Chain A
Amino acid sequence: GAVVSQHPSWVICKSGTSVKIECRSLDFQATTMFWYRQFPKQSLMLMATSNEGSKATYEQGVEKDKFLINHASLTLSTLTVTSAHPEDSSFYICSARDTGLSNQPQHFGDGTRLSIL
């Protein structure tokens, strides 16, 4: 079945560091990928929609200069948390859907646990 690989699975770093998270669709192409943030015991909140070859679409309240998204190919999107601070600590999850199919579920990566000290 369709697989989405997300890397790294966890990151611990100092305040002020920039962190890059990768999301890859392994056996399908995805012109669109999605980035979510999840706080403990809460649901997923969509941060942005990553569009291959064009700018990402950010949800209201999400700082585009803080969360840089690049979708350079049909199988890879990256999220960079720039100058991360403790309040950016969270669980980040990406998802993708096979572009060639309609009415199909999204496939999720295993998430990245980000802890900023």
Chain B
Amino acid sequence: SQQGEEDPQALSIQEGENATMNCSYKTSINNLQWYRQNSGRGLVHLILIRSNEREKHSGRLRVTLDTSKKSSSLLITASRAADTASYFCATGGDYKLSFGAGTTVTVRA
């Protein structure tokens, strides 16, 4: 079943701009994960943030986690055309994952 909502559903930005997307979840978590999916492909893991962490960075990606609000955000800085993809948050710890609805990001050259 779907764990929660992501917003926005779709985002179109100019190359070089930042992209921010949000994810909300319903149950308590051990960690929250962000994945990217290029059209017609599988999912690529981006970042895992543990429940006791508030912020995490990986290259141009920044993830925040607010367990009191049961929400997380993913920021992509200085976007590139290659960042065009769908982004999903997922929760579930070491067991099965529940995915958000996803945000489709289009980066215009």
Contact = CB atoms under 8 A, between A and B. Distances in A.
A44 to B, nearest CB: 5
B44 interface: yes
A81 interface: no
Contacts, number: 56
Given A103-B31, A104-B48, A105-B48, A46 B97 contact: yes
14 contacts: A42-B101, A44-B43, A46-B98, A49-B95, A49-B96, A93-B42, A95-B43, A95-B97, A97-B94, A103-B31, A103-B94, A105-B45, A106-B97, A108-B44
A108 B45 CA distance: 8
Given A4-B42, A44-B43, A111-B40, 19 more contacts: A6-B42, A43-B99, A43-B100, A43-B101, A46-B98, A49-B95, A49-B96, A93-B42, A93-B43, A95-B43, A97-B94, A102-B94, A103-B31, A105-B33, A105-B48, A106-B33, A108-B44, A109-B42, A110-B41
Contacts of A34: 96-97
